[in-house]
Amino acid sequence: MRTSFPKHKIKAVLVEGIHPAGVGLLRDEGFQVEALPSSPDPAKLAKLVHDAHLLGIRSKTDVTAAILDAAPRLLAVGCFCIGTNQVALSHAAHQGVPVFNSPFSNTRSVAELTLAEIIALYRRLTEKSGLMHLGQWDKSAAGAHEVRGRTLGIVGYGHIGSQISVLAEACGMRVLFYDIVSKMPLGNARPVKTLNDLLKDSDVVTLHVPATPLTERMIGPAQLKRMKPGASLINNARGSVVDVDALAAALKSGHLAGAALDVFPVEPAGKGESFESPLRALPNVILTPHVGGSTEEAQASIAEDVATKFIKFVNVGTTTGAVNVPEVELPEQAIFEEPSARKPAGQRRHRILHFHRNVPGVLSKMHTLIAQLGANISAEYLRTTEDIGYVVLDVDPTDGEKVLARLKTVPETIKVRLLW
Ligand SMILES: NC(=O)c1ccc[n+]([C@@H]2O[C@H](COP(=O)([O-])OP(=O)(O)OC[C@H]3O[C@@H](n4cnc5c(N)ncnc54)[C@H](O)[C@@H]3O)[C@@H](O)[C@H]2O)c1
Q: Say whether both 100 and 118 belong to one domain.
A: no
Per the structure, the complete domain to which residue 261 belongs is given by 107-287
Q: Is residue 201 pLDDT above 60, yes or no? A: yes
Instruction: Tell me what pLDDT residue 86 has.
Output: 96
Task: Give the closest residue (by CA) to ligand 1 atom 19.
Answer: 158
Range 210-229 average pLDDT: 97
CATH number, domain containing residue 99: 3.40.50.720
Structural domains in the chain (count): 3
Q: Say whether both 131 and 161 belong to one domain.
A: yes
Tens of pLDDT, residue by residue over 154-198, are 999 999 999 999 999 999 999 999 999 999 999 999 999 999 999
The residue among 130, 149, 146 whose CA lies nearest residue 138 is: 130
Pocket test for ligand 1, best of 101, 177, 180, 262 (most atoms within 8 A of CB): 180
Atom of ligand 1 nearest to the CA of 291: 3
Q: Say whether both 321 and 391 belong to one domain.
A: no
Which helix (H) or strand (E) segment is 352 a member of?
A: strand 348-357
Atom of ligand 1 nearest to the CA of 210: 41
Pocket test for ligand 1, best of 160, 241, 262 (most atoms within 8 A of CB): 160
Instruction: Tell me what pLDDT residue 376 has.
Output: 86
Range 142-164 average pLDDT: 97
- Which residues approach ligand 1 with their CB closer than 6 A? 104, 106-107, 110, 155-161, 178-181, 208-212, 214-215, 236-238, 262-263, 290, 292-293
Q: In a 3-state reduction of DSSP, which class is residue 183? A: coil
Which tops the pLDDT comparison, 338 or 134?
134
Q: Is residue 310 pLDDT above 90, yes or no? A: yes
Active site annotation includes 133: no
Tens of pLDDT, residue by residue over 35-78, are 999 999 999 999 999 999 999 999 999 999 999 999 999 999 99
Using only the alpha carbons of the chain, give its radius of gyration.
26
Instruction: Tell me what pLDDT residue 371 has.
Output: 87
The Cα-based distances of 174 to 19, 155, 193, 202, 395 in angstroms read: 38, 14, 17, 9, 56
Tens of pLDDT, residue by residue over 77-119, are 999 999 999 999 999 999 999 999 999 999 999 999 999 999 9
Percent helix / strand / coil, the chain, rounded to 5: 35, 20, 45
Instruction: Report which DSSP code applies to 38.
Output: S
Instruction: Tell me what pLDDT residue 3 has.
Output: 54
Instruction: Report which DSSP code applies to 242.
Output: B
CATH number, domain containing residue 400: 3.30.70.260
Tell me what the pLDDT averaged over the chain comes to. Answer: 93
Range 343-361 average pLDDT: 80
Q: How confident is the model at residue 378 (pLDDT cuts 50, 70, 90)?
A: confident
Q: How confident is the model at residue 335 (pLDDT cuts 50, 70, 90)?
A: very low
Query: What is d(CA 255, CA 232) in angstroms, rounded to the nearest whole number?
Result: 9
Q: Say whether both 282 and 143 belong to one domain.
A: yes
Percent of the chain at pLDDT exceeding 70: 94
Q: Say whether both 86 and 113 belong to one domain.
A: no
Instruction: Tell me what pLDDT residue 171 has.
Output: 97
Query: What is d(CA 305, CA 319) in angstroms, rounded to the nearest whole number?
Result: 13
Query: What is d(CA 286, CA 279) in angstroms, rounded to the nearest whole number?
Result: 9
Atom of ligand 1 nearest to the CA of 262: 1
Q: Say whether both 134 and 275 belong to one domain.
A: yes
297 CA to middle of ligand 1, Å?
20
Q: Say whether both 256 and 317 belong to one domain.
A: no
Q: Catalytic pick from 267, 276, 297, 401?
A: 267
Instruction: Tell me what pLDDT residue 35 has.
Output: 96
Range 222-232 average pLDDT: 98
Q: Say whether both 30 and 40 belong to one domain.
A: yes
Q: In a 3-state reduction of DSSP, which class is residue 354? A: strand
Report CA torsion sign: 223, 227, 233, 237: negative
Active site annotation includes 367: no
Cβ contacts of 69 within 8 Å, gap of 6 or more: none
Range 296-308 average pLDDT: 96
Q: How far is CA 157 from the centre of its chain?
A: 17
Q: Say whether both 124 and 223 belong to one domain.
A: yes
**Quick one: 121 exposed, middle or buried, by C-beta within 10 A (0-12, 13-18, 19+)?**
buried
Q: Say whether both 91 and 112 belong to one domain.
A: no
Range 368-396 average pLDDT: 90
Active site annotation includes 94: no
Q: Say whether both 155 and 260 belong to one domain.
A: yes
Instruction: Tell me what pLDDT residue 7 has.
Output: 87
Q: Is residue 271 pLDDT above 90, yes or no? A: no
Q: Is residue 399 pLDDT above 90, yes or no? A: no
Instruction: Tell me what pLDDT residue 216 has.
Output: 97
Instruction: Tell me what pLDDT residue 1 has.
Output: 44
Q: How far is CA 49 from the centre of its chain?
A: 24
Task: Give the closest residue (by CA) to ligand 1 atom 3.
Answer: 292
Query: What is d(CA 373, CA 369) in angstroms, rounded to the nearest whole number?
Result: 7
Instruction: Tell me what pLDDT residue 348 has.
Output: 64
Q: Say whether both 199 and 112 belong to one domain.
A: yes
pTM of the model: 0.87
Contact present, 244 and 219 (Cβ < 8 Å): no
Task: Give the closest residue (by CA) to ligand 1 atom 28.
Answer: 209
